[in-house]
Amino acid sequence: MEIGEMQKFVAAIVNDKLATMNSVHRQSTITTIKAENIAQHSFFVAYYALKIAKKLKLNDELKGEITIQALIHDIAESSSSDVPSNVKYQVPGLKQMLDKAEDFAINKYFPEIKDEFTSLRKHEADGDIVGTVIKLADIVALIQFLKTERALGNQDATLLKVIRETYDNLGRYLDHLEEIVTNEQAKSVKAKDK
């Protein structure tokens, strides 16, 4: 690669749509004291996903895939904005509409990660180890945020209810992860027996 090409490439990165992740705040159904932008959230999700993957002793390839996909899991929200997950599923058709908006954003602003984003969507839909670890990390990041809100003195009437619901959701995903791990261990034992 020539120096001139690298200068153009770096100049394009400096003006990248990704920078808006710093200014797009995550939305909540509760009043919050502290704002969190999607860049901060994505960092925490990637960090927690890597910690979970290491605890599970996943191979380096899976750890890398999980970390990268966790980091980009909300990247399209830099264009489409954030919608709380409970709202996405309560309004009929909204999730599908938001998926189309995210696809548009990925194709227009982030085509270089389209394959990774498509893979993430497949892992989420399949409910496999990659999608489950990322979802767990996403929930852990939310719990950390909610706990910080509480520690800061947030007295929103629904905060405790949201925390409980989030822990319930965490429990469901932990159960699902246990099921995946148990199935993988059973496959491993069968393969050794052959």
Q: pLDDT by residue (tens digit) across 40-67? A: 999 999 999 999 999 999 999 999 999 9
d(CA 98, CA 88): 8
The helix (H) or strand (E) run that includes residue 114 is helix 114-126
Instruction: Spell out the residues 6+ positions from residue 70 whose beta carbon is closer than 8 angstroms to its own.
Output: 42, 45, 46, 48, 49, 50, 133, 134, 137, 138
The pLDDT > 70 percentage for the chain reads: 97
48 within 8 A of 140, measured Cβ to Cβ: yes
Domain ranges of the chain: 30-75+110-179
Confidence at 30, pLDDT banded by 50, 70, 90: confident
Give how far Cα 16 sits from Cα of 9, 19, 35, 84, Å.
10, 6, 23, 25
The number of angstroms, rounded, from the C-alpha of 194 to the middle of its chain's C-alpha atoms is 38
CATH for the stretch 30-75+110-179 = 1.10.3210.10
Q: What is the pLDDT of residue 127?
A: 94
